Amino acid sequence: MTLLHALPIRSRPREKLVARGAQILSTHELLMVILGNGILGTPVEKVARSLEHLLYSTSRSELSLEKFLCIRGIGQTKAVQLLAIFELMDRFQRRNETVFTSPGVIASYLHDLQQSKREQLICLYLNARYQLVHREVVAVGSLNQTLIHPRDVFIPIAGLPVAAIVLAHNHPSGVPEPSEDDKIFTTRIKQAAELFGIEFSDHIILAKQGYVSMKERGVL
């Protein structure tokens, strides 16, 4: 088995990354760092070159466990790790590209809440371009909104480039129509947001029958 440590120190991608940053590494060197080692008769650099060729010659949608396993030196464990890495990259890219400026986009992003059997209060923390910076589950269970303090919503903004927030919660009953408590809670958070200098963009209520935007209802 050929390890990265068998390479001369100046040629070790891991040491180069630590000393000078990931940006200076070539694609196959980055892949060498991820792979860690090759197998007997197939050094890690050769495995990385084969993987690099696969990545450049195959579309993202066609990458699969089977294609990775076709490369000598990549077993199931490494193939699964590679799939996980690419899925994470896709998720972060989608997150950074999504602009949360409309109730429809927000509801689509939080569609999983519509089927949830437990009430959840979610806060989306957005930057100045209305892109997601952080997602926080503020409360779970039978939501008594009178007991949820505004600080529970705003504590996570510390140290983050947050310019706006979006609240969302679900109604397991299946009907998204806001209650009087929903309206009162929305007003409380709006007042707190003004004190913090943060834009309260919307409060979305989701259920099996659809969603309601407090902004569109004129509560915000």
In 3-state terms, what secondary structure has residue 121?
A: strand
| Cβ 182 vs Cβ 144: under 8 Å | no
- pLDDT tens-digit series, residues 181-202: 999 999 999 999 999 999 999 9
C-alpha distances (whole Å) from 208 to each of 101, 108, 111, 137, 212 are: 22, 13, 9, 20, 11
pLDDT at 211 over 90: yes
What does the pLDDT read at residue 124? 96
How much is the pTM? 0.60
- What domains can you pick out in the chain, each with its CATH number? 4-97 (no CATH), 103-213 (3.40.140.10)
Spatial CB neighbours of 207, under 8 Å, sequence gap ≥ 6: 114, 170, 171, 172, 173, 174, 175, 176
pLDDT at 145: 66
The CA-based angle 22-28-32, given to 5 degrees, is 75
**206 vs 12, higher pLDDT:** 206
Candidate from 54-58, 81-85, 138-142 with smallest mean pLDDT: 138-142
